[in-house]
Structure 1
Amino acid sequence: MSASFKDYNFKPFINDAINDLGFKNPTPIQAKVIPTIRHGKSVIGKSATGSGKTHAFLLPLINQLDADNPKTQIVITTPSRELAYQIYENVKQITSFSSETIHIANYVGGTDKEKQIEKLKREQPQIVVGTPGRILDLSKAGHLDINTANQLVIDEADMTLDLGFLETVDKIAAAMAKDIQMMVFSATIPPKLKPFLKKYMKNPVLDDIPTETVINKDVDNWLISTKGQDKNGLIYKLLTMGNPYLALIFANTRERVDEIEEYLQGQGLKVAKIHGGMQPRVRKRVMKQIQNLDYQFVVASDLAARGIDIDGVSHVINDDIPTDNEYFIHRVGRTGRKGMKGIAITLYGPDEDTQVLELEKMGIKFKPKEIKNGEVVDTYDRRRREKYKGHHEKLDGSTLAMINKKKKNVKPGYKRKIKRAIKNKDDQNRKIELRSQIRSRKKQKKRSSERYQ
């Protein structure tokens, strides 16, 4: 594994861009992926959010680009406009150090297509970044010549699949050069994605970067029970007592995003919001304002969880647990980046305990906290009795009393009686747990129906 970016023998302007970014040494995903791309091989990069994967593909691709060739050479697709904007800005930063002009373009839905077409008549972009729908529209209409490009990056492939964009990406790949080098990046590789990968990738290199923990070690992951309290008030307390540098508050529905933003503004806070129901131009403007740190507080939907990549996010607050557990990781992954510390706070109600358990089964560890006397303090683990007493926490007082009798009081048939008592109690608890799970699934199903893009 390379210890320094200098080992890759990048062009001078690429090294200048790396120095400007303040990068010292390649991250694990960069150390694996950069040599693979430079050797012209197709690659599947599987790593956690915040791992540095964007520059893992941008640096070698831009380094290899032929600035003298005016045709389109690289196509990068993303499932969300926000992520497309983010990658486009990353490309602009790197190419700004080149002495030769490199033409780049960002094509996303909701922008001025006619203006894009007029510009395409004059010149073709050498690097294309955008959402699948707009890229395919421009290509099918004969305005964008992606048939000359032989390098395709599919970023956030699992989200591309979830949002139903894979068929569109398939058509983009089919329209490109035959000797295509495909680079697929994803936090997970769902089974439904594999047929697509086999179609275009022959013997791809799988660079799977395992993580010691699901959540970045630089993130303090707190869990706070609402205990029936008003969530809006709790969020306001957390924001004002913590004095965050930049806080992101995530909610499951656009209606809830609107509600939180309106409440916090009513409390005198300057708050921005981002969700799928906003006009594209408004979303783009607000994203730029957020990136310029015009706001200290941002309320967002999961649509933005993978599109916001801003230095200095000190706090993430989950208004509730997302309906898709993977989104929890992407939410929390907005903080604790580039070696900086971060705090993630998840609020949960009594009916969400099953969802918390599911996150814990994924390897996510929480620190139980509560708000007391204007401060966030440690509190007891909600499952402390289970951990302390083991199996016996399921038993009621009378059963425990039977177990704890001294041996001298043991009578014939004692062991059988105890076993029956334990079995009866276990059966009863299983029924209670089953009812709880059914109720939880019904509520989760209701939340899923409200989910937006």
Structure 2
Amino acid sequence: MTKFSQYNFNDAINKSLKEIHFDEPTPVQEAVISLVNKKKDIIVQSETGSGKTHAFLLPILNAITKNQNVQALIATPSRELAYQIYEDTQNILKNYPEEYNAFIFVGGADRERQKRKLSAHQPQIAIGTPGRLWDLIRENDLHVENVERFVVDEADMTLDMGFLNDIDHIAAKMPDNHEMLVFSATIPQKLEPFLKKYMRGPKRIELKNSSVIAKNVDNWLMFTHGRDKKELIYQLMTLGSPYMALIFANTKKTVDEIYEYLKAKGLKVARIHGGLTPRERKRVMKQVENMEYQFVVATDLAARGIDINGVSHVINAEIPDDLEFFIHRVGRTGRNKMSGTAITLYAPGEEHKVADIEHLGIKFKPKELKNGEIVDGYDRDRRNDRHATQEKLDTKLVGFVKKQKVKRKPGYKKKIKQAISTEKRQQRKIKNRQEMRKQRDARRKNGK
């Protein structure tokens, strides 16, 4: 079994790793660190929460020198993730005997102040969001002509949020021999032209999870029966005693509604979404990290942009439109092999959305809330099959079935089966005739 001590990191890094209780590398760290040391271009596709940040940070920080040039540039699409990487960097650098500088540049911060800081001296490590990084590079405040390593983190999210052009401009300003490290949960086809443009024979690493949802996560599915989801969420949160619960919704409006409802019920709850000011979001995140809140309501920005430790429960108040986000949401719990519970709520008419998630290979345990207790629920598939069979029957036949059941005549079950069988045969005949008619019409058309 590989240990971090086998990588020949400097003493300062080894001390920092010991302080944060890092002993053994995760699979992605084991696959990546040696390649970064060899200065190879790499494309890494790995699940959320797999330890990608330290996979590139550790070898980069081990190689930095006192040279007052920007030696590594790390671009990430969200401010929250940029701050997270910055904090991880500082936690590793704090045991260095000499001072090394890591600066963070994100939108919403005072750009003039950032410019003054850069005019005094350039950092060895620059971390930031693509738009702000490009602004500073374009105006010749941040110098990247000597960058040795360029990290593009969460590349698929960078593409989705429209930042790829900024990344393209940044990469064009760098020396030809710089090493590029691309990390992403998925590699969309639209990303491939960019990768081919700037990467030289990259090594592709794809680490697939043995199961889409970690085995230590209970993945529950709860039907709302048309009830108010806010009330149901409140009952779920107060029924047990979650250590930390993340509640996800699709829109800022819904996040605000759930937040206000839970707050009015007396719960100490925080909210995180793009509508908050950068200062407010940073403050809330700091309070969450300090465990000042037990409940956090968020949009998918939090699923991809922040890392909250100790999440015991995830509740999907709404099923996300982009099913990739479902995986990222549920991936917030069950971290570091701890147990977790993910609860997905679905309303009448949303069965097809649940089926779409199941097509990803995700299995649910149906649950219900009854008399203040969570109990096993109905088998949704069996119920749907029963409804689907009935919906396919002729309207008259449905009436016949109901009538026979009510009258309870002798042999009524046999009569129902015969009627259904007859109906199905007739439907097949009609379908066959329609198909033959289509083929005949097609032959006539082709013969003209």
Q: Does 1:261 align with 2:259?
A: yes
Q: Does 1:420 align with 2:418?
A: no
Query: Which residue matches 1:356?
Result: 354
CA separation of 1:28 and 1:386: change in aligned 2, threshold 3 A: same
Give secondary structure in 1 for the equivalent of 2:44: strand
Give secondary structure in 1 for the equivalent of 2:380: coil
Shift of 1:70: 1.4
Amino acid at match of 1:152: F
Shift of 1:419: 5.2
CA separation of 1:386 and 1:354: change in aligned 2, threshold 3 A: closer
Cα distance in 2 between the residues matched to 1:5 and 1:387: 53
CA separation of 1:31 and 1:230: change in aligned 2, threshold 3 A: same
CA separation of 1:415 and 1:309: change in aligned 2, threshold 3 A: closer
Amino acid at match of 2:208: P
Shift of 1:23: 2.0
Equivalent positions of 1:335-414 (< 5 A) are 335-385=333-383
Query: Which residue matches 1:16?
Result: 15
CA separation of 1:218 and 1:405: change in aligned 2, threshold 3 A: same
Cα distance in 1 between the residues matched to 2:166 and 2:28: 27
Query: Which residue matches 2:69?
Result: 71
Q: Normalization by structure 1: what TM-score?
A: 0.87
Equivalent positions of 1:277-316 (< 5 A) are 277-316=275-314
Q: Which ranges in structure 2 are unaligned for 5 or more consecutive residues?
A: 405-410, 433-448
Give secondary structure in 2 for the equivalent of 1:46: strand
Cα distance in 2 between the residues matched to 1:177 and 1:219: 45
Cα distance in 2 between the residues matched to 1:171 and 1:426: 58
Pair member with larger Rg: 2
Cα distance in 1 between the residues matched to 2:220 and 2:164: 35
Cα distance in 2 between the residues matched to 1:259 and 1:126: 44
CA separation of 1:14 and 1:354: change in aligned 2, threshold 3 A: same
Corresponding residue to 1:205 among 179, 203, 206? 203
Shift of 1:308: 2.2
CA separation of 1:120 and 1:371: change in aligned 2, threshold 3 A: same
Cα distance in 1 between the residues matched to 2:25 and 2:387: 46
Query: Which residue matches 2:38?
Result: 39
Q: Does 1:6 align with 2:16?
A: no
Amino acid at match of 1:93: N
1:181-225 Cα distance to aligned partner (Å, 9 max, x none):
111111111000000000111111111001111112221111111
Amino acid at match of 2:371: N
Q: When the two structures are aligned, how many residues end up with a matched partner?
A: 420
Equivalent positions of 1:45-444 (< 5 A) are 45-66=44-65, 68-385=66-383, 417=422, 420-421=425-426, 423=428
Amino acid at match of 1:175: K
Shift of 1:282: 0.9
Cα distance in 1 between the residues matched to 2:165 and 2:349: 38
Cα distance in 1 between the residues matched to 2:421 and 2:217: 50
Q: Report if the CA contact (8 A) 1:257-1:300 is conserved.
A: yes
Cα distance in 2 between the residues matched to 1:273 and 1:201: 39
Q: Normalization by structure 2: what TM-score?
A: 0.88
Q: Percent identity between the aligned chains?
A: 54
Q: Report if the CA contact (8 A) 1:150-1:178 is conserved.
A: no
Cα distance in 2 between the residues matched to 1:391 and 1:40: 60
CA separation of 1:372 and 1:13: change in aligned 2, threshold 3 A: same
CA separation of 1:385 and 1:394: change in aligned 2, threshold 3 A: farther
Amino acid at match of 2:301: L
Query: Which residue matches 2:408?
Result: none
Cα distance in 2 between the residues matched to 1:234 and 1:23: 39
Q: CA RMSD in A?
A: 2.8
Cα distance in 2 between the residues matched to 1:329 and 1:17: 31
Amino acid at match of 2:180: M
Q: Report if the CA contact (8 A) 1:245-1:313 is conserved.
A: yes
1:240-262 Cα distance to aligned partner (Å, 9 max, x none):
11211111111111111111111
Shift of 1:24: 2.7
Shift of 1:150: 2.0
Cα distance in 1 between the residues matched to 2:379 and 2:209: 25
Give secondary structure in 1 for the equivalent of 2:271: strand
Shift of 1:385: 4.6
Amino acid at match of 1:47: S
Shift of 1:237: 0.6
Cα distance in 1 between the residues matched to 2:429 and 2:224: 33
Shift of 1:423: 3.7
Give secondary structure in 1 for the equivalent of 2:304: coil
Cα distance in 2 between the residues matched to 1:296 and 1:45: 34
Cα distance in 1 between the residues matched to 2:350 and 2:297: 21
Shift of 1:416: 9.2
CA separation of 1:64 and 1:349: change in aligned 2, threshold 3 A: same
CA separation of 1:426 and 1:94: change in aligned 2, threshold 3 A: farther
Q: Report if the CA contact (8 A) 1:394-1:425 is conserved.
A: no
1:150-200 Cα distance to aligned partner (Å, 9 max, x none):
201111100100011001011111111211111111111100000000011
Q: Which ranges in structure 1 are unaligned for 5 or more consecutive residues?
A: 428-453
* 4+ long deviations beyond 4 Å: 385-399, 414-419, 424-427
Give secondary structure in 1 for the equivalent of 2:5: helix
